[in-house]
Homo-oligomer: A and B are copies of this chain.
Amino acid sequence: MSEESNVVYIGRKPPMSYVMAIITSFTGSDAKNVTLKARGRSITTAVDAAEITRRRFMKELNIGEIIIGTEEIQQEEGGTRNVSTIEITLTRG
């Protein structure tokens, strides 16, 4: 279970930036899996990046596990608020 695995954190850049990061992550290592992690509004970008990578660039990729969850964020003005999260694992066939 010590198989190499990489994580790409998805933020507010356009999906194509993360597509490049995913491809680099696969080609620059022996990783069989790359996991995309995103929260809040970036969740859509994570799905876009996964789909574009798989359909346009690495057709041998499969969608593995998809996990959704909730994270508590500390707010500067005090208190917390909840934000949704997603993890999408891409697997090289």
Q: Which of A29-68 contact B (CB under 8 A)?
A: 40-41, 43-44, 47-48, 50-51, 55, 63, 66-68
Interface size on A, residues (CB 8 A): 20
Q: What's the nearest-Cβ distance from chain B to residue A61, in Å?
A: 12
Q: Within the complex, which residue of B50, B55, B68 is in contact with A88, where a contact is CB–CB below 8 Å?
A: B68
A80 beta carbon closer than 8 Å to chain B? no
Starting from the known contacts A43-B44, A55-B70, 9 additional A-B residue pairs (CB-CB under 8 Å) come to A41-B44, A43-B47, A44-B84, A47-B86, A51-B69, A51-B70, A51-B82, A66-B67, A66-B68
Residues of A within 8 A of B (CB): 40-41, 43-44, 47-48, 50-51, 55, 63, 66-70, 82, 84-86, 88
